[in-house]
Amino acid sequence: MEKLYLFIVFLSCALLLKDVTCTDSEALSKDEEKIVGGEEISINKVPYQAYLLLQKGNEYFQCGGSIISKRHILTAAHCIEGISKVTVRIGSSNSNKGGTVYTAKSKVAHPKYNSKTKNNDFAIVTVNKDMAIDGKTTKIITLAKEGSSVPDKTKLLVSGWGATSEGGSSSTTLRAVHVQAHSDDECKKYFRSLTSNMFCAGPPEGGKDSCQGDSGGPAVKGNVQLGVVSFGVGCARKNNPGIYAKVSAAAKWIKSTAGL
């Protein structure tokens, strides 16, 4: 099954553009996603990280994203499917407060995104005004070069506010985990439908992974974003590494769309 990394929140009070501090009930989508096997991390360590609250009718979902310019957030295409409104929070380790909140004025998925296979799982959200970039709690991430690879055993830092266990609730505190990428041949042992626009990462024995609510978030090596959290089977399961959209495969489209 797919791991769609969407976290649904049914709010019982009005949603404001500032803090969401409502009594709510939580439910997961078809499958799961959040940081599993990681630890809490300060936004100062991952200042490119963005939190996305997405509205679809009376339901609210969360995803992650990354700051790629003063006006643009990179996220996963499956995060914005059927979504009517996107609110972005940056500069805070807490998903409910702090930092600065922006409203999206537009969103666009990769033109070759396939909702069934999750191939080309990229989207760009454009906010309503320039984001405040201070270089400390907010920073623009460098994108992988077009056509570059993600070598076997590449160590990646994945961050987000997703669940800390499969079927668990989301975290309001930012968390991160280190995972290693695998070669395409190794990934295809676990996921035969892997395309050249994807890579997988996570220990074969399980225990470390992204989870529900982490979708769209960044997978970074140093100061370069190599992947976008896309999907998987459950969270941190044995022989089921997470699947990431490969940024280098869409670098040309990302830069053109965002005017970089």
Q: Which of 29, 92, 121, 214 is catalytic?
A: 121
How far apart, in whole angstroms, are the C-alpha atoms of residue 43 and residue 135? Answer: 11
Q: Which of 93, 215, 230, 248 is catalytic?
A: 215
**Helix, strand, or coil (residue 77):** helix
Give catalytic status of residue 121 as yes or no.
yes
- Burial class from Cβ neighbours inside 10 Å (0-12, 13-18, 19+) for residue 217 reads buried
Tokens for 259, please give them.
């005017």
- Unique residue bearing structure tokens 């191939």: 119
Tokens for 82, please give them.
């059927």
How far apart, in whole angstroms, are the C-alpha atoms of residue 230 and residue 210? Answer: 9
What count of other Cβ atoms lies within 10 Å of the Cβ of residue 140? 18
Give catalytic status of residue 134 as yes or no.
no
Q: Which of 29, 31, 69, 78 is catalytic?
A: 78
Give catalytic status of residue 72 as yes or no.
no
DSSP state of 55: E
Q: Which helix (H) or strand (E) holds 247?
A: helix 247-258
- Please list the active-site residues: 78, 121, 215
